[in-house]
Amino acid sequence: MKIKELRDGMRKVDLVAKVLEVSEPREVVSRFSGQVFRVADAIIGDETGTIKMSLWNEQIDRVNVNDTIKIENGYVRSFRGERQLNVGKFGKITVL
């Protein structure tokens, strides 16, 4: 699948893309458990376009700018009017 084909609400998304940017990690606190998580925003791209993707906790340390990554079982959701690719707990990111 290619980035330009991604639509809000899509599930079971598998694609390969290059990491173009990774923001500084920030901490967020779960409203439910009070647990603290680290999150960073990454911009990934292929020849058809770019999309923002959230990286959580250990994913932040595994992914670097210019890495080519494979996303398996991701999903697309709009957040604040912007399409984003998410991996969630059932998806997988592999650095190729």
pLDDT average, residue stretch 30-37 = 91
Burial 29-62 (b: 16+ CB within 10 A, else e): eeeeeeeeeeebebbbebeeeebbbbbbeebbee
Q: What number does CATH give the domain 3-95?
A: 2.40.50.140
Give the model's confidence band at 64: pLDDT under 50 very low, under 70 low, under 90 confident, else very high. very high
pLDDT average, residue stretch 7-21 = 96
Give the model's confidence band at 83: pLDDT under 50 very low, under 70 low, under 90 confident, else very high. very high
Give tens-digit pLDDT for 39-51. Answer: 999 999 999 999 9
